[in-house]
């Protein structure tokens, strides 16, 4: 009998994340897509309060800091928070940041009644034992006219990729393995499921983007070496049907519906 899922922390894995995720082509595509999608917020003339939930080493939030917005950087792993602080200090941006090492569930206690113009929650929910439980917490932290930038691991795309690569047994096993791979998300979320959750919690999607709509389906490893061309095509098609739905991650911009 498999053990029930638990929330996952990456304390002690900072270097592995930096090398295997942030420094790779897939990590660069992810960052480029998020920066394109959120550019209008970066350049807002109004000073924004930004909360980065599970912010890792804080690469994406630097764009807010560079434009003079204040960012509260949080992560469940103290190692990640410390590395983010070093990263931001090296970039000369430390004055724009406050740091909190805590899980999402504890943030309301740390932040009291504070509400944020922008809440970033990227690649976090799929590591939680109960992903849906994060949504009311994120809504609670979001200002009534604020924007939630939510990126989650797409179960439909994971299924499609495994079919493309012939992993039929894995698909028939409902994408379950006997032994958990620590750096593989434990709770991929189907977009239809996320849509239902958001409706239940009175949250509304204003924009949808697929992240890595093509990269993760490449059968020729050499194709990834033509990175700039690949990136151009990802950015060209990743908000267009049917390609957006095939993104390994989904980036949705969300606001209050009530």
Please work out, in degrees rounded to the nearest 5, the angle formed at the alpha carbon of residue 49 by the alpha carbons of 91 and 104: 90
Distance CA 66, CA 212 (A): 26
Is 235 in contact with 33 (CB distance < 8 Å)?
yes
User: 146: annotated binding-site residue?
Assistant: no
CB neighbour list of residue 59: distance below 8 Å, 6 or more residues apart: 22, 31, 87
User: 37: annotated binding-site residue?
Assistant: no
Annotated binding site: 30, 54-55, 75, 122
Annotated binding site for S-adenosyl-L-methionine: 30, 54-55, 75, 122
């Amino acid at each position: 009998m498999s053990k029930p899922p638990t929330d996952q922390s990456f304390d002690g894995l900072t270097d592995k994340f930096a090398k295997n995720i942030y420094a790779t082509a897939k990590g660069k595509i992810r960052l480029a897509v998020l920066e394109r999608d959120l550019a209008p917020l970066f350049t807002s003339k109004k000073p924004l309060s930004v909360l980065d939930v599970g912010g890792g080493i804080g690469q994406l939030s630097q764009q807010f800091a560079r434009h003079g917005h204040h960012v509260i950087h949080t992560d469940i792993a103290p190692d990640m928070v410390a590395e983010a602080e070093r990263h931001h200090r090296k970039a000369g941006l430390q004055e724009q940041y406050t740091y909190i090492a805590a899980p999402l569930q504890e943030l309301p206690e740390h932040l009291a009644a504070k509400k944020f113009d922008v809440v970033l929650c990227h690649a976090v929910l799929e590591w939680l034992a109960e992903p849906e439980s994060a949504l009311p917490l994120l809504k609670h932290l979001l200002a009534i006219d604020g924007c939630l930038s939510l990126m989650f691991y797409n179960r439909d795309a994971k299924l499609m990729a495994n079919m493309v690569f012939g992993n039929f047994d894995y698909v028939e096993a409902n994408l379950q393995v006997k032994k958990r791979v620590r750096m593989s998300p434990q709770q991929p979320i189907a977009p239809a499921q996320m849509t239902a959750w958001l409706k239940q919690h009175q949250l509304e999607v204003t924009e949808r983007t697929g992240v890595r709509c093509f990269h993760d389906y490449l059968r020729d490893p050499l194709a990834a070496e033509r990175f700039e061309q690949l990136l151009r095509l990802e950015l060209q098609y990743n908000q267009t049907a049917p390609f957006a739905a095939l993104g390994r991650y989904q980036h949705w911009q969300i606001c209050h519906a009530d």
